[in-house]
Structure formats: structure tokens, C-alpha cells
Amino acid sequence: MNEMSWPPQVPPPPPSPMPPPMPVGFSGSRSDFFHLVKRGAGLEFVTLGFYRFWLLTDIRRHLWANTLVDGDAAEYTGRGKELLIGFLVAMAILVPVYLAYFLAGLEAEHIQAFASIPLVAFFYIFGQFAIYRARRYRLTRTVWRGVRFWMSGSGWKYALYASLWGLLSAVTLGLALPWRTAALERYKMRHSFYGDLQGSFEGRGWEFFKRGWWLWLLAPIAFVVYPIAPFIYGAFKAIEWRWWLSGIRFGDVRLESSLPKSALIGLYWKVIGWIVVLGLVFSVYLALAAALVASMSGDAFTEFFTSQEFARSIPLLVLMGVGYLVFALAMNIVIRVYLSRDLWVRVLGSVNISGIEAAANVAARGEMANALGEGFADGLDVGGF
């Protein structure tokens, strides 16, 4: 501290090393995240996708650890190995389920052609179960101030709720969606805890409906005029995030979000722009690969392409496959940077927390849940963070 006397006008650093409390902040650097997903994509390439369990974990660890609530950063304690085990166990369970599904479908078809189609509903219900259990896994791996979040409730009950509400939404062409979301969030939050602080959800379906009904009217137009689709979707997601966050309570801790409707539209356009650019690069690559293979085959160019030989050349197919894999992974990097990280930062930036004192002395409770739900979600291709 020898420099302290010069220049004199600079005040000395505050004696407390703690920064002033801030409601919710994000401290992660974008280039760190980019590096993380870039490296992860490379490893996914090498491992034919098996690295996904560790990459997903690293993404969550980065986002959680840089999210600061009242000056304290959260922590994600899940590990890639847990996801791998969850996936393997889920596979072991899903194989007989698929087989039973096949046999049941066969019996149904025997009675009437295409009678097995309603059986797909079973997988919808199963998917909802997976979503609930996956959320429980993520929540129990979320730690703040040395106390974990956790979740009770029944995945099957939730799946039943979600499916009945889903049926109603389908019947009403999506008009019941706000009430569905509200009811399901109430169930999820009522069974979510931070230590001994019970969660709840105060968002009303009617509020969500009031903010977003005009999007429901515009949505059919998007099927004709594609360019407005990102605007509609972006506005919808922003409204949904804001409404959802503003409804979250843990005891007396209340969240409030002020996310503007337009906040996310730019992100979706950036993703689209990048995908177009990557698509162009991929096309150029394909053209070059085809030219290369054609020149090596010795035939004249036109002859090579008019005889359908180029569709049968194994080197060309291999080049195409590798090129496509690289293209898909690059696309994943773009999506993760914009729609995982940037979206996270924007949404967090809109959040204010009041009554945080209620979380100052919460007793730790709750057990860790296993990653089976995540495994099912992976096996059934139903999403989640």
C-alpha cells in the first residue's frame, strides 16, 4: 500500500472487501463463456455427442456461479457424471417401456388401423414427468449461501396436471395456455423450497393473458409472413419471463421483473443471422468438397454431376457428413451464446428482489434428488435448461 499517498485525490479503497449489495447481478465474462462452449463443441465433435453431459454441467456452473443475489453468488453443484448415470438408468428403463409401447400399439392396430396413435399421449405424459423430475434435479443442485434449494411434490401428479391442461390448451387453440402455465407454476413453486423457506407463485393466468393476447391473434399471420415470427416469439418469451419472474416468492422474498417486451427480439434475430451466415459457409464448403471429389474422379465436371455419380461417391458423403457435424456444432455454439448466456444476462438484469432479509437466516433442509429425470428428458428429447 505504498502507493496510497499518490495521487492524493483518489480515495482509499473501502476497508470492507465486500462489494455493496446489489439485487441481482451477473459477473461472468462473455469471452469466458464463448471459450467454454467452443471447447465443449469441439469435445462433442470428438466424442460424437457424449460430452454433452459435461458441457451442459459446465454451462450451468458458469451461469450459476456468476449470478449474484444480494452480493452472494449462487453455485451449481451438479456434475456431468450424475447426468451420464441418469441417462444410462433412464435408457435401461426406457427400453422395456418402448417395447411395451410397441406391443400395445400392435394390439391396438390389430383392432383398427392407426388406433395406436393416441398411445403417443403416453409419451407426452412421460415427458411432463421427466420435465418435473429434471427441474427437481437442477433445483437441488442450486446452492446459495451454503443452503440448497429443493423440491417435493410428485412428478406423476404434475404430469397428470400438465397433460390435462395441455389437452385444454389444445382444444382452445392455445387460449388456455396462460392459465395452464399459471397452474403448473403454482404447483412447481408450492413444492419448491430454499432451505426451510417455502416457495409460492403469485402470477395469475389472467395477467399473462392480458399482456399477450394480441400475440395470439398475430401468430397465425406468422405462418404466412415468416419474418414477423421472431418478433412474435421474442415478444412472447419476454412477456412470459417477466410475468413468471414477477410471480416468484420464497417466503417473504419477492421477485419483480421489468423486462421490456422488445428485450429478446434482437437475440433471436442475431441467432437467425448467424445461422444464415453459417449456412452460406456450409454451402460453399459443400461446393468445394464436390469440386474436389469431382476433380479427383477424373471425369469432366459436367459429366460427374449429370451422371448421378456424385450422390454415390463415398468420399463426398464422408466430407458432407463431417461438414454437417461441424455446421451443427457451430450452430449450437451460437444458440448457447445468445439464447443461453445473453438471454440469461438480459433476463437477470431486469430482476429486482425485495424482502431479501427473509433469506438472511434460513435453515438448511432438503435432500438431493437424482438425475434420472434429466436422463428421461434427454432420452425423450424434452427440453429444459
Partner 1 sequence: MDSEASVPGTSILDGSAAYFDGASSRRRMVTLRLADRLEIVEGEQTLATWAYADIRRADSPAGVLRVSCLTAAALARLEVRDTALASELVARCASIDDHMIGRRGIATIVGWSVAAAVSIVAVVLFGLPLLADRLTPLVPETFERRLGDVADSQIKKIFDAKVCDNAAGQKAFTKLVTQIRESAGLDTSVQSGVLSSSIPNAFALPGGKVYMFDGLLAKAENADEIAGVLAHELGHLKHRDSMRKLIHDGGTSFLIGLLFGDITGSSALIFGSQTLVTSSHSREAEHNADSFAIDVMHRLGRPAKPTGELLLRVTGKEGKGLSIISTHPLSEDRLARMSRLDPPASGPPLLTAEEWKALKSICSAKI
Give CA 351 to chain center in angstroms: 19
CB 293 within 8 A of CB 319: yes
Sole binder of partner 1 in the list 44, 82, 185, 342 (CB under 8 A):
44
Answer for the pair 249, 255: CB distance below 8 angstroms, yes or no: yes
Q: Does 356 bind partner 1 (CB under 8 A)?
A: no
Angle, alpha carbons 62-66-71 (nearest 5°): 160
Residue 16 sits at φ, ψ, to 5 deg, of: -80, 130
Position 8 contacts partner 1 (CB under 8 A): no
Instruction: Give the nearer residue to partner 1 in terms of CB position, either 145 or 261.
Output: 145
Under rule CB under 8 A, which residues in 189-218 are in contact with partner 1?
194-195
350 vs 13: CA distance, rounded Å: 29
In angstroms, what CA-CA distances link 223 with 212, 238, 268, 276? 18, 20, 17, 20
Work out how close the CB of 163 gets to partner 1 at its nearest, in angstroms, rounded to a whole number: 23
Taking CB under 8 A as the criterion, the residue among 100, 106, 120, 175 binding partner 1 is 106
Cα Rg of the chain, angstroms: 25
- Check binding of 225 to partner 1 (CB under 8 A): no
Q: Say which amino acid occupies 193.
A: F
Task: Give the nearest distance from C-beta 146 to partner 1 in angstroms.
Answer: 3
Number of residues that bind partner 1 (CB under 8 A): 71
Question: Does residue 222 bind partner 1 (CB under 8 A)?
Answer: no
| Nearer to partner 1 (CB atom), residue 215 or residue 278 | 278
Residues β-bridged to residue 33: none
Task: Note whether 369 and 191 are within 8 A (CB).
Answer: no
Buried b (16+ CB within 10 A) or exposed e, 145-157: bebbbbbeeebee
CA distances from 8 to 2, 4, 14, 266, 351 (A): 12, 8, 15, 45, 38
Sites for partner 1 among residues 270-309 (CB under 8 A): 307-309
Residues facing 197 on adjacent strands: 194
Report DSSP state, residue 77: -
DSSP state of 368: P
Q: Which of 147, 177, 189, 351 binds partner 1 (CB under 8 A)?
A: 147
Residue list 18-37, contact with partner 1 (CB under 8 A): 18, 27-29
x/- string (CB under 8 A) for partner 1, residues 70-89?
Answer: --xx-xxx--x---------
Is 64 a binder of partner 1 (CB under 8 A)? yes
Q: Answer for the pair 132, 155: CB distance below 8 angstroms, yes or no.
A: yes
CB of 17 to partner 1, least distance (A): 4
Q: Which of 85, 109, 119, 231 binds partner 1 (CB under 8 A)?
A: 109
- Identify the residue among 113, 217, 224, 225 touching partner 1 (CB under 8 A): 113
Nearer to partner 1, 25 or 203 (CB): 25
Which residue's CB is nearer to partner 1, number 106 or number 173?
106
**Residue 138 in the binding site for partner 1 (CB under 8 A):** no
- Report, in Å, the least distance between residue 98 CB and partner 1: 8
Q: Residue 54, interface with partner 1 (CB under 8 A)?
A: yes
**According to CB under 8 A, which one of 92, 95, 173, 300 is a site residue for partner 1?**
95
Per-residue interface string for the shown chain with partner 1, residues 304-343, x marking contact by CB under 8 A: ---xxx-xx-x--x---x--xx-xxx-xx--x--------
Whichever of 4 and 224 has its CB closer to partner 1, that residue is: 4
DSSP labels for 328-348? Answer: HHHHHHHHIIIIIIIHHHHHH
